[in-house]
Amino acid sequence: MMKRSAKTVSVSTLMTLLIAGSAAAAPAETAAQGTDALQQFTLDQVVVTATRDERRDVDVPASTEVLNREDIRKTGGKNLAMVLQKLPGVTYKSFGPAGASMGTMINEAIIRGVDNGTLVLVNGNPVNWRGKYNLEAISADDIERIEMVKGGGSVLYGSEGMGGVINIITKKVADNYVKAGIGNFGRKTFGANVGTNKFQVSYDEEKWDNTLNRISVSTLTSRNKEIGKTQTKANNIRRQNVGLNYNANDNLSFNYHYFETKANYLRQVIESAKNTMQAGADFNNREYTTKQHMAEMLYNDKDYKGSLYFVTGTVESRGNTYFTSAGSVVKPTSSSYFYNTREKSRTIGADIQRNWKVGEKAKAILGFDYKRENYQSLYTHTTKTDSDYSRNVFGVFGQWDQQFDDKNSFILSGRETWTTDADNGMNYSNFSAAGQFIHKLDEDDSLYASVAQSFILPTFAQMYSSSYQAIANPALKPQKGINYEIGWKRIAGAHNWKAALYRVRIKDNITATWTNDEYQYKNEDFKNYGFEFGDTVKAKGAWSYNWAVNLQNPKSKSTSKEYWDSKFGKYQLTGGVGYTMGKFDANLSGSFLGDRVRTPSSAHSYDERPYFLTTLTANYKPDKHNDISLVIDNLLNRDDVISHSSSAYYATPCNFLLEYKYRF
pLDDT category at 287 given cuts 50, 70, 90 is: very high
Q: 3-state SS of 140-176?
A: HHHEEEEEEEECCCHHHHCCCCCCEEEEEEECCCCCC
Return all residues near 184 (Cβ < 8 A) that are at least 6 apart: 210, 655, 656
Q: Is the pLDDT of residue 531 over 70?
A: yes
pLDDT in tens, 563-577: 999 999 999 999 999
C-beta contacts of 16-21 below 8 A and 24+ residues apart? 18/584, 18/586, 18/618, 19/579, 19/581, 19/586, 21/584
- In terms of pLDDT, which residue wins out, 95 or 351? 351
555-557 vs 543-552, strand pairing mode: unpaired
pLDDT category at 116 given cuts 50, 70, 90 is: confident
Say how far apart CA 480 and CA 457 lie, in whole Å.
9
Quote the pLDDT of residue 278.
92
Quote the pLDDT of residue 326.
87
Say how far apart CA 182 and CA 569 lie, in whole Å.
35
Quote the pLDDT of residue 29.
37
pLDDT category at 409 given cuts 50, 70, 90 is: very high
Return all residues near 604 (Cβ < 8 A) that are at least 6 apart: 561, 565
Q: Is the pLDDT of residue 399 over 80?
A: yes
What is the largest distance, in Å, between two alpha-carbon atoms of the chain?
81
Quote the pLDDT of residue 36.
37
Say how far apart CA 238 and CA 325 lie, in whole Å.
29
Quote the pLDDT of residue 158.
86
Q: Cα separations (Å) of 236 from 94, 97, 139? A: 17, 11, 19
Quote the pLDDT of residue 488.
98
Quote the pLDDT of residue 459.
78
Quote the pLDDT of residue 387.
86
Average predicted confidence (pLDDT) for the chain = 88
pLDDT in tens, 330-365: 999 998 899 999 999 999 999 999 999 999 999 999
Quote the pLDDT of residue 584.
97
pLDDT category at 468 given cuts 50, 70, 90 is: low
Quote the pLDDT of residue 456.
86
- Greatest mean pLDDT among 14-18, 25-29, 487-491 lies in 487-491
Q: Is the pLDDT of residue 102 over 90?
A: no
CB atoms within 10 A of CB 231: 21
Residue in 481, 435, 434 with CA at minimum distance from that of residue 454: 481
pLDDT in tens, 254-276: 999 999 999 999 999 999 988 88
Least confident of 63-77, 358-372, 382-396, 503-517: 503-517
Sign (positive or negative) of CA dihedral 648, 653, 654, 657: negative
pLDDT in tens, 629-655: 999 999 999 999 999 988 899 999 999
pLDDT category at 539 given cuts 50, 70, 90 is: confident
CB atoms within 10 A of CB 652: 23
DSSP classification of residue 79: B
Return all residues near 545 (Cβ < 8 A) that are at least 6 apart: 535, 536, 537, 539, 575, 576, 577, 578
State in Å, rounded, how far the first CA of the chain is from the last one: 46
Mean pLDDT of 465-478: 68
Quote the pLDDT of residue 244.
97
Topology adopted by domain 11-663: Maltoporin; Chain A (2.40.170)
Mean pLDDT of 285-314: 95
Say how far apart CA 652 and CA 95 lie, in whole Å.
10
Question: Kindly report the CA angle at 470 between 465 and 471, in degrees rounded to 5?
Answer: 95
pLDDT in tens, 125-180: 987 666 677 888 899 999 999 999 998 878 888 888 888 999 999 998 889 999 99
Mean pLDDT of 491-495: 93
- In terms of pLDDT, which residue wins out, 539 or 428? 428
**SS3 of residue 448 by DSSP:** strand
Q: Is the pLDDT of residue 15 over 50?
A: no
Question: Kindly report the CA angle at 593 between 589 and 599, in degrees rounded to 5?
Answer: 145
pLDDT in tens, 414-463: 999 999 998 888 899 999 999 999 999 999 999 999 999 988 888 777 77
Beta bridge partners of 632: 616, 656
Q: Is the pLDDT of residue 400 over 80?
A: yes
DSSP string, 233-263: EEEEEEEEEEEEEEE-SSSEEEEEEEEEEEE
Quote the pLDDT of residue 512.
66
Say how far apart CA 110 and CA 95 lie, in whole Å.
14
Q: Is the pLDDT of residue 28 over 50?
A: no
Domain spans of the chain? 11-663
pLDDT in tens, 37-90: 333 445 667 888 888 888 999 999 999 999 999 999 999 999 999 999 999 999
Least confident of 19-23, 124-128, 483-487: 19-23
pLDDT above 90 covers a percentage of the chain that reads 67
Say how far apart CA 544 and CA 570 lie, in whole Å.
28
**pTM assigned to the model:** 0.89
Say how far apart CA 125 and CA 119 lie, in whole Å.
10
Return all residues near 238 (Cβ < 8 A) that are at least 6 apart: 205, 206, 207, 260, 261, 262, 263
Quote the pLDDT of residue 487.
98
Return all residues near 92 (Cβ < 8 A) that are at least 6 apart: 84, 85, 86, 107, 110, 591, 593, 611, 613, 642
| Amino acid of residue 2 | M
CB 109 within 8 A of CB 150: no
Residue in 609, 631, 623 with CA at minimum distance from that of residue 662: 623
Mean pLDDT of 190-194: 97
pLDDT in tens, 590-643: 999 999 999 988 889 999 999 999 999 999 999 999 999 999 999 999 999 999
Quote the pLDDT of residue 445.
97
Q: Is the pLDDT of residue 398 over 60?
A: yes
